[in-house]
Structure 1
Amino acid sequence: MAWESVRANGGSSLDEWLRSRIRMVTWKRWKRIRTRFENLKKAGVSEEQAWMWANTRKGYWRTAHSPILTKALSNERFKRAGYLSFSECYSAK
């Protein structure tokens, strides 16, 4: 059933979900406010925005979809880290 949706849209929706999940798990791993703040600053987020988002009370999944975390953990960063997308693998066949 899941592979039918991959075939239908080339895996893009599955890619989106997986990237969101990776962002969520990464945010969850940065447990402490200080760790979140420092990692967001390292990723190029301004100090003010990093402090605001490091102290957020929003849930993990909602924060994974935030513009700040999407910028900090971008798709290009995932490619550099070696994550392959399903759509690229599917189109390579």
Structure 2
Amino acid sequence: MRHRLRSMIWKQWKRGKVRFRNLRQRHIGHDLAAQTAGSPHGPWRLANSPALSLAFPITYFDALGLPRLVNVAPAQPN
């Protein structure tokens, strides 16, 4: 689900300049942001790129209230 959301965010940032600027605002390094913003690959492939995974980590989606599909709970003693 997060993969799809990252892909949709990337599609909303339509141009390379906007993508670069927004990645830099999300504290992604200059070189990684430039490499990702100028990539010829599509949004689905880039959704799992290091830049987008760092810009939108799991905690970002947790803060939005997005439920996790895998429930992480401590093991119950028998």
Give TM class, smaller chain.
0.7 to 0.9
In 2, distance between residues paired with 1:81 and 1:42?
18
| 5+ residue gaps, structure 1 | 1-17
Aligned partner (choices 36, 42, 47) of residue 30 of structure 2: 47
Whole-Å separation in 1 of the counterparts to 2:70 and 2:45? 25
Q: How many residues align?
A: 72
RMSD: 1.3
TM-score when normalising by structure 2:
0.82
Aligned sequence identity (%): 33
Structure number with the higher helix fraction is 1
Q: 2:43 aligns with which of 56, 60, 74?
A: 60
TM-score for the superposition, normalised by structure 1: 0.70
Q: Take 2:60 and 2:19, find their aligned partners in 1: how far apart are those partners?
A: 17
Residue of structure 2 equivalent to 1:36: 19
| Structure 1 residue 82 displacement after superposition | 2.2
Determine which structure has greater relative contact order: mean sequence separation of CA pairs < 8 Å that are 6+ residues apart, divided by chain length: 1
